Structure 1
Amino acid sequence: MANNSTSSVDKPIPETSSRYLTDCVTSHNFGVTRYSLLDGRGINNFISSSRFSVSGFDWNIRIYPDGEREQDKAAYMSVFLCFCSGATMDVKVKFTLSLLGKDGKISNLNSKTTTANFKPVGDTWGWDKFIGKSRLQELLSCNDDCFTIRCVLTIIKDHHTEDVSTVLVPVPQSDLHTHLANMLKDGQGVDVTFSVGGQLFSAHRYVLAARLSVFKAELFGQMKETTMERIKIDDMEPAIFDALLHFIYTDNLPNKCDVDQNVALQHLLVATDRYGLERLKAICEGRLCHRIDVQTVATTLALAEQHHTPHLKNACLRYLCSRDVLPAVKETDGFKHLTASCPEIMMESFEKVVPPSGV
């Protein structure tokens, strides 16, 4: 009788897998500055964060500076999660509300977690006694009168079980941008040169034409008969053009970027508007929104108006409205210069901040 004891061992065993999916986890940070101004608003009066969405449901965070219940006699700050909108009337959620200082660190004493069923729209769950006023004052004194409430939220819904392929092939991240950046750096195959502020920059006309219609028209229009051409760029600093060129090849700003300061970012935004680089324009707009201060808000507001960046304009107006900074802003050189050079822009913008007398 033949011995077949090893035949089953040599054959691969068929294998299948499946998995059960729950919904994604999302966090939202609600920052509060100059919190002492909110003290004394009254019991059951709250401020709320903007809405944030998780898997088709909208939420916000509500903070009651003097508490939510009369019986607590304004001794606590209350914090709640509110269900704002969604397609169902019964949502099971696990969420954590944490109090962060300006260093972004979470203390175990100021972090609370629960699981709750939100049924009607407008339903809220949270903590009446989230933190005592005395403890909160200690934190505020160490954090410039500000803090952040972080909400980490998980939707728990019934999902189908799906089959999972047993062959998992890791796909490397795209490195196209790296190859293009190296091609620009090495200079191999360059066929066009730009002169900017006395400095020369070489590039590949087909890359430029593929990325920007302005260069396509310039390089394959009147100059299509030439194989090598020098193009002069006026009214631009070499560092700005260098960052612009890097972005054209890689879709990102260089890691060590000399244009990450406020004035240089403003110049770069002007350049993106000139060449129609909408993604880079949005990146500049976003960075400038986080660099608004007394010295820069006037010039930034005029820039936002001139180059049609509504988010940046609104950020400037919010800064002027939310802080008592107008007297200081009016003393800056930027405000005085723009009042003289662009009076219509400054008048229109500041009318939105300071209502006419008698109103």
Structure 2
Amino acid sequence: MGKHRLVETSTSSSSRCVTASVHAVHSFEVTSFSLLEGMGAGIFVSSRTFRAGGRGWNIRVYPDGWKEEDKAEYVSAFLCLVDGPKDAKTRTKYTLELLQKDGKVSELTRCSAVMLSHTFEAVDSYWGLGKFVDKSKLKPLLRLNVDCFTVRCALTIIGESQSEDVAAPSVVVEEFPQPNMHQHLEHMLKTGKDTDVTFDVDGQIFHAHRCVLAARSAVFESELLGPMKEKAIEEPIKVADMEPSIFEDLLHFIYTDSISDSNNDVHDKNMFMQHLLVAADRYGLDRLRLMCEVSLCHGIDAQTVATTLALAEQHHCARLKDACLKFVASRRDVLGVVMKTDGFKHLMASCPLIVVEILDKIAEA
């Protein structure tokens, strides 16, 4: 019998909603307003008809208000549908605003000039603001504008909404390039282009970029961008108690976020990592400090464990200290070998209480 294989397939598609709209703006200037007062409530003057969305519109202004009950205290303003398709509902959004002489919206209607939404269902239907502007507050504006004011209508006619397919992007990326920012920074360090700070390490000069160092180390930030900034610009910064090779690798890490692999000798590498850990702790480079600590944990031997343990104690490296103590307690003959090294003498001189922890660890084993 033949074997049946299940083949899984998947598809992906998308669509979007698109709503058509038409925009129009019409301004209606009302002149000699004082002559229009007293016309009575419900009587209006209108703008010329303007067209938008295949329909005719005008702005109606009621000098004595729209309703009798308002006692002519307000000017009313409305948008009116003048002509258009019969039995066709027209959805709109619009504003009615009072303009100053400079064309800016007057504070008199700023609060009431909200976006209005209305569906006009028949010709000659109108909708707007019965209390468009308080007439008592309008008088100062009329004095400035020679008894005139302007009403502006910004109208949006909303059409039907339709769904349409969205084409999938045709760009296919087979493989993203590997991150290479560290390579560019390393090149910038090696070429020395646009360096602005200099270090003197035991007579050897190093050039670097203060913004890079400050971004990576809070200690460098304080030294290079703090109160001593001007002095650091004028003359080389002397770095004491550090070998030039260690400072060079410190800079390499700052620019590349990696440790140089130029040292392959196991013993020399162990010494190198010890010095680099001290430098990392000095400049607050926690990631480099941890990387050195991990490397030293893997390189512990009887000849170096004492110096490494002293280093771990002095620089508060809990992981490294625990690894060293476990190594010493791993076999009975290890402690005897360690005690004969110069490093153990240094350990006893610098950290005499550590012997108690060594004995406790041996007892636990």
Taking structure 1 as the reference length, what is the TM-score of the superposition? Answer: 0.51
Change in 2 beyond 3 A, CA 1:18/1:351: farther
Corresponding residue number in structure 1 for 2:253: 247
Displacement of 1:283 in angstroms is 0.9
Displacement of 1:166 in angstroms is 9.0
Alpha-carbon separation, structure 2, partners of 1:337 and 1:225: 41
Alpha-carbon separation, structure 2, partners of 1:209 and 1:341: 33
Q: CA RMSD in A?
A: 2.8
Corresponding residue number in structure 1 for 2:219: 214
Secondary structure, in 3 states, of the residue corresponding to 1:261?
helix
What aligned pairs does 1:23-38 form with structure 2 within 5 A after superposition?
none
Displacement of 1:17 in angstroms is 5.7
Question: Percent identity at matched positions?
Answer: 56
Displacement of 1:257 in angstroms is 4.1
Alpha-carbon separation, structure 1, partners of 2:254 and 2:187: 13
What aligned pairs does 1:290-329 form with structure 2 within 5 A after superposition?
290-324=298-332, 325-329=334-338
Q: Which residue of 187, 194, 199 maps to 1:182?
A: 187
Displacement of 1:353 in angstroms is 2.5
Change in 2 beyond 3 A, CA 1:186/1:17: farther
Corresponding residue number in structure 1 for 2:244: 238
Alpha-carbon separation, structure 1, partners of 2:296 and 2:289: 11
Corresponding residue number in structure 2 for 1:335: 344
Alpha-carbon separation, structure 2, partners of 1:228 and 1:167: 53
Secondary structure, in 3 states, of the residue corresponding to 1:202?
strand
Corresponding residue number in structure 1 for 2:294: 286
Structure 1 residues not aligned, in runs of 5+: 1-15, 20-164
Displacement of 1:297 in angstroms is 1.1
Alpha-carbon separation, structure 2, partners of 1:255 and 1:295: 22
Corresponding residue number in structure 2 for 1:224: 229
Alpha-carbon separation, structure 2, partners of 1:18 and 1:214: 54
Moved more, 292-301 or 187-196: 292-301
Corresponding residue number in structure 1 for 2:201: 196
Instruction: Check conservation: 2:329, 2:358, Cα contact below 8 A.
Output: no
Alpha-carbon separation, structure 1, partners of 2:9 and 2:229: 58
Change in 2 beyond 3 A, CA 1:349/1:198: farther
Instruction: Check conservation: 1:300, 1:316, Cα contact below 8 A.
Output: yes
Alpha-carbon separation, structure 1, partners of 2:249 and 2:263: 7
Whether 1:265 aligns to 2:273 is: yes
Moved more, 322-331 or 270-279: 322-331
Could you say which structure has the larger radius of gyration?
2
Change in 2 beyond 3 A, CA 1:341/1:232: same
Instruction: Check conservation: 1:239, 1:258, Cα contact below 8 A.
Output: no
Secondary structure, in 3 states, of the residue corresponding to 1:293?
coil
Displacement of 1:338 in angstroms is 1.9
Instruction: Check conservation: 1:246, 1:252, Cα contact below 8 A.
Output: yes
Displacement of 1:273 in angstroms is 0.8
Instruction: Check conservation: 2:213, 2:220, Cα contact below 8 A.
Output: yes
Change in 2 beyond 3 A, CA 1:340/1:188: same
What aligned pairs does 1:82-161 form with structure 2 within 5 A after superposition?
none
Instruction: Check conservation: 1:191, 1:229, Cα contact below 8 A.
Output: no
Alpha-carbon separation, structure 1, partners of 2:179 and 2:234: 31
Displacement of 1:331 in angstroms is 1.4
Secondary structure, in 3 states, of the residue corresponding to 2:205?
strand
Change in 2 beyond 3 A, CA 1:171/1:335: same
Instruction: Check conservation: 1:191, 1:228, Cα contact below 8 A.
Output: no
Change in 2 beyond 3 A, CA 1:309/1:17: farther
Displacement of 1:186 in angstroms is 0.2
Letter in 1 for 2:290: A
Displacement of 1:264 in angstroms is 1.7
Change in 2 beyond 3 A, CA 1:193/1:266: same
